[in-house]
Structure 1
Amino acid sequence: MSGQDLFALAALQRGYFTTAQAGAHGLSRRALPRRASNGQIEHVAYGLWRLTHWPIGPDDELYALQALAPFGTFSHETALLLHGLSDLIPSAIHLTIPESSRLSRRSGVRLHRSRTGAERERVLRDGLWVSTPVRALLDSARIGSDPDQLIEAARQAQSRGLLSAADLARLSAHRLFRHGAA
């Protein structure tokens, strides 16, 4: 590949990079199919490529999605799972993106839109942008996730020190968490 910078960027994204990122690092749109035919990279989806020598992992779908939507935040039940606060596998990947951004619908992805401020309630976890535990709990409650699972997730978050006093106050303002968790 031309440009060690692109390789370094792809390494941060578990081997994934976009057509736009390749172009920004000096690799033309026309060069990508040639690299794919040589076996150096593979085409994953529209605008998304992957280094072929990079090992495939269990969360590859998340890293691929983040490469396509670096402005997005894994949220709701997906965030609870990534924080280790839930054992339930969500029926879809929950991704919150800014209201002004564009991202085409993808199978298995439930998009949520936020006006402003969502970037203040996210943390980088294993290279993925993830909603904070309190934000994930509140968002999951808002969409009607299983109350028992959410109460248990809140208890785990509290016992692991993932919730501040301010977070506990925010949770206690929600009817679901008044008596169950915090």
Structure 2
Amino acid sequence: MLTECKDRRAVLWRTAAGQRGFFTAAQALEAGYSYQAQRYHAQRGNWLVIDRAVYRFREFSDLPDEGDEQLVRWTLWSKGQAVVSHATALAVHDLGTANPSRIHLTVPRGFRRTSDVVTLHRAELADTDIEDRAGYRVTVPSRAIAECAADDEDQDVIDSAVAEALDRGIATRRRLLHAAQSLGARAELGVERALRALL
């Protein structure tokens, strides 16, 4: 029985380790923890209750904060459907002066959950628009810049993000323009202004 408990914990720990210590009730169930066992571990303080059906191993809360733990948490809240986007994605990529007060997530059009803490954008993203991080996904720099331009973000934010993306070689003019064109006239205008400012 003790070996079985250790095996269960090891399976769940491996899953949680790739998600900064966070895991869902469904992942715990898959690892062999019944809902009754989940309640027991939450009540005993072995697992921290983060949100409805989202937990974190207590040991991970003692580690230094890397700054993007909340992005993992909100990805799990969305059942893996959300992609970090817009100004939050710019902050993840450390581009420009974006300092969003809310977490921006892009979710599929049929997504039904809501929260006062996040801003949800509904769109279908191509695989080429997304990159994987530890425990969450984020839109690539060119897409994030175009999203901010389409969302009517301050032009100074767009200008600084475009300048840094080009300077660091993580986006090209062509990719930026292509991403902007896919999001419409407002995005195109914002990106074109930022590119003209560099001349």
Alpha-carbon deviation of 1:134?
0.9
Alpha-carbon separation, structure 2, partners of 1:161 and 1:65: 29
Q: Is the 8 A contact 2:143 2:179 kept in 1?
A: no
Listed as ranges, the gaps of 5+ residues in structure 1 are none
Give 1:8's aligned residue: 14
Alpha-carbon separation, structure 1, partners of 2:159 and 2:95: 10
Give 2:125's aligned residue: 117
Q: Is the 8 A contact 1:152 1:181 kept in 2?
A: no
User: Counterpart of 1:53 in 2: which secondary structure?
Assistant: helix
Q: Compared with structure 1, are the counterparts of its residues 26 and 76 closer, same or farther at alpha carbon in structure 2 (3 Å cutoff)?
A: same
Q: Is the 8 A contact 2:131 2:138 kept in 1?
A: yes
Give 1:148's aligned residue: 156
For 2:91, give the aligned amino acid: L
Alpha-carbon separation, structure 1, partners of 2:137 and 2:16: 16
User: Counterpart of 2:105 in 1: which secondary structure?
Assistant: strand
Give 2:32's aligned residue: 26
Q: Compared with structure 1, are the counterparts of its residues 112 and 26 closer, same or farther at alpha carbon in structure 2 (3 Å cutoff)?
A: same
User: Counterpart of 2:120 in 1: which secondary structure?
Assistant: strand
For 2:68, give the aligned amino acid: D
Counterparts of residues 20-169 of structure 1 (less than 5 Å): 20-54=26-60, 55=63, 57=65, 58-69=67-78, 70-102=80-112, 104-114=113-123, 116-164=124-172, 166-169=174-177
**Greater helix share, 1 or 2?**
2
Q: Compared with structure 1, are the counterparts of its residues 32 and 126 closer, same or farther at alpha carbon in structure 2 (3 Å cutoff)?
A: closer
Q: Across the two proteins, how many residue pairs are aligned to each other? A: 180
Listed as ranges, the gaps of 5+ residues in structure 2 are 182-187
Alpha-carbon deviation of 1:98?
1.3
Alpha-carbon separation, structure 1, partners of 2:110 and 2:24: 20
Rg larger in structure: 2
For 1:39, give the aligned amino acid: G
Alpha-carbon separation, structure 1, partners of 2:127 and 2:77: 17
User: Counterpart of 2:14 in 1: which secondary structure?
Assistant: helix
User: Counterpart of 1:87 in 2: which secondary structure?
Assistant: coil
Alpha-carbon separation, structure 1, partners of 2:17 and 2:29: 17
Instruction: With the length of structure 1 as denominator, give the TM-score of the two structures.
Output: 0.89
User: Counterpart of 1:30 in 2: which secondary structure?
Assistant: helix
- CA RMSD between the two structures: 2.0
- How much identity, in percent, do the aligned residues show? 29
